[in-house]
Amino acid sequence: MRRQKVLVLYLANSALDAPTVAWSVYDGTGETFRMAGDQDQPPYPTGLAALKDGWRLFQASQLNPHARGEEFDLAYLKYEFWFEQLVEVEA
């Protein structure tokens, strides 16, 4: 039986080799349980590093230009990338 692990990386810009600034990890296998702020270092320094480790990219944020005057708004993390791994587990 296969279960999904999901990794969400928020990068400094739209390039996959940009530094990771925030992240979330969800483990559908039940092997680990993580909470926001439980790690000091990101699981991968870049999105490209996650790809090289076998994670599959399945969604990237749409690139929309900032509205005039909002170029430096830090209210949200714009460059969000979703990755998955399918892991075999015992039934």
Q: What is the pLDDT of residues 23-78, one digit of tens each?
A: 999 999 988 877 776 788 999 999 999 999 999 999 888 777 777 877 676 666 78
Maximum Cα interatomic distance, the chain, rounded to a whole number of Å: 54
Q: Which residues pair with 86 in a beta bridge?
A: 4
Where does the chain have alpha helices with state H? Answer: 47-52
Per-residue pLDDT at 75: 65
Task: Name the residue with tokens 């699981």.
Answer: 43
